[in-house]
Structure 1
Amino acid sequence: MRSTFYTCSKCVGKNSRLIKFGKTKNGKQRFQCILCRKTSVLNYSYQAYRRNTNTKIIRLTKEGMGIRGISRFLRISTTTLLKRIINISDRIQPPSINYKKIYEVDELRTYIGNKKQIVWLVYALERDSKNVLCFNLGKRSNDTLNVVIKSLLHSNPEKIYTDKLRNYQYLIPKGIHHTKRFGTNSIERKNLSLRTHLKRLNRKTICFSKSVLMLSSVLKIYFWS
């Protein structure tokens, strides 16, 4: 008779096996890892406990679905979903910034809670790869812009293209700062993609983010997951 072996999802990179370890109150078979001694169930009734739930959350978030939409689709509570999104984003590491490249920086306006609470998304795009390297959320001030600019200056950039917002001339050295026409075409096109893919960034929308933390978490997933 052929035996079926199950591996532990928590012991990453290790050759661990699961053995039967009694049953749950619902009568489902429980397994225990022979290495870490943690128990698990292979087929959970509640969708949030299934192994591919995080992957589905990432895909649906990047497709522009809102919190309640994802909650209905996956049949999990909104509270669980919010915690999962924050947990997923905390594990995401931003990409490394390459040395001596050309970058574009721009700002995008959005809201937190209602249209009276304006928040600006400032982010940097590498022109060659079209990858977003860093971003920051806050007021349209030097403090908010400087977080992104400082990250770029550490890589000794060849050029940094921005719009003609006056704040940039105090933050970027004149030798590498450019504001010529069509210089920010790539990042302006990225702005359009962001507003198209994420409801919370649309110009005419009622799908506002409830907090800066949630907006930041969704952007991390969209940019870097």
Structure 2
Amino acid sequence: MKYYQEITCPNCTNSNLMKSGSSDRGVQRYRCQTTACSTNTFMLEYCYKACEFGTKEHVVEMAINSSGTRDTARVLKINKNTVTRTLKNKENSLVQVNPLFQTFDQGKPLEVRLEQVCCDEAEMDEQWSFVGNKSNQRWLWHAVDHKTNTVLAYVFGKRKDIVFKELKALLLPLNISRYYTDDWGAYERHLDAEKHEIGKKNTQKIERKNLNFRAWIKRLTRRTICFSKLEKMHDIVIGLLINKVEFGRDIHAKSKI
């Protein structure tokens, strides 16, 4: 009895394929002939799970959904070093300013200006976490649009004025006219008094955002046994969450940098 198996590209699901040699173990390789497809070659069976199509995307998705490195390695049946390497490779693709919020430029064509979004009022806050041990504090400084509660920009560092200045510099092109913060001294020292309002009344949205981040990422939970050993990994995982959920970016796309 003969039977036929239809083989399609795991990336674009196109059946326009050609044979492309075989692996060292004698497994047949296939190449997608679709011009727009980014897949080079693929096999129907891999001896190592990490090579299967979609595995690295699962690594990223699990990382931003409260899974630790060892959790991910156990579930996907891959090495924990592969999990770490996959996340580190995403560092260059991250951005710290929301691309949806741009400065309104009258010199641009009308159709371009209509697509731009400007922010008039912003809420700012800092969120505590740690790396390695609780004495090594790592704060997430971020700002959200007061109207939509969408993250505008973020930075990581100590709870120092110099880190807040980095966040302020990222927000400068947005021409924000009003800032709402708590009574932490860095805000009062570096924001113009006429543009700055202190109090809990207008910072409820960013406080709600902080709770959302703690629910997504165990690294931000106050009492947790899931923490990063490297500041780089800590920043990447939280950055991936913000880039996907808040900025609406495709975090699985290959970096051009």
| Distance 1:63-1:5 versus aligned 2 partners, 3 A rule | closer
> 1:224 is matched with which residue: 238, 243, 250?
243
> Which of 127, 151, 167 is residue 148 of structure 1 equivalent to?
167
Pairing 1:102–2:104 present: no
1:112 maps to 2:131: yes
Q: How far apart, CA to CA, are the structure 1 residues paired with 2:211 and 2:39?
A: 49
- Contact 2:10–2:53 at 8 Å: present in 1 too? no
Partner of 2:42: 40
**Shift, 1:54, TM fit:** 2.8
**Matched-pair contact (CA < 8 Å) for 1:5–1:17:** no
What value does the CA root-mean-square deviation take over the aligned residues? Answer: 2.7
Question: Judging changes above 3 Å, is the alpha-carbon distance between structure 1 residues 190 and 100 closer, same or farther for their aligned structure 2 residues?
Answer: closer
Question: Would the alpha carbon gap of residues 217 and 33 (structure 1) be closer, same or farther in structure 2, given more than 3 Å must change?
Answer: same
Which residue does 1:49 correspond to in 2?
Answer: 51
Q: Does the aligned pair in 2 maintain the 1:89–1:218 contact within 8 Å?
A: no
**Residue 85 of structure 2 corresponds to residue 83 of structure 1:** yes
How much has 1:27 moved relative to structure 2? Answer: 2.7
Alignment of 1:197-212 (within 5 A): 197-212=216-231
Pick closer, same or farther for the CA change 1:205–1:8 going to 2, 3 Å. Answer: closer
Report the alpha carbon displacement of residue 7 of structure 1 after superposing the two structures with TM.
4.9
- Farther off after superposition, 86-95 or 68-77: 86-95
1:55–1:188 Cα change, 3 Å = same
Q: 2:176 aligns with which of 153, 157, 160?
A: 157
Gaps of 5+ in 1: none
- Give the partner amino acid of 1:205: T
| Alpha-carbon offset, residue 199 of structure 1 | 1.3
Deviates more, 1:91-100 or 1:144-153: 91-100
Flag as ranges the 4+ runs of structure 1 deviating above 4 A. 2-9, 33-38
Shift of the alpha carbon at 1:4? 5.3
- The more displaced of 73-82 and 125-134 is 125-134
* C-alpha deviation, 1:5, in angstroms: 6.7
Q: Which residue of structure 2 aligns with residue 196 of structure 1? A: 215
Counterpart of 1:56 in structure 2: which amino acid? H
Superposition pairs for residues 57-68 of structure 1, below 5 Å?
A: 57-68=59-70
2:19 match: secondary structure = strand
- 1:24 — aligned with what? 23
> CA–CA distance in 2 between the matches of 1:215 and 1:46?
27
Of 131, 139, 149, which aligns to 1:130? 149
**Superposition TM-score, scaled by structure 2 size:** 0.76
Identity of aligned residues (%): 29
Contact 1:8 1:18 in 2 (8 A): no
CA deviation map 1:155-174 (0-9, x unaligned): 11131111111111222222
The amino acid of 2:21's aligned partner reads G
**Structure 2: where are the runs of 5+ without partners?**
102-116, 245-257
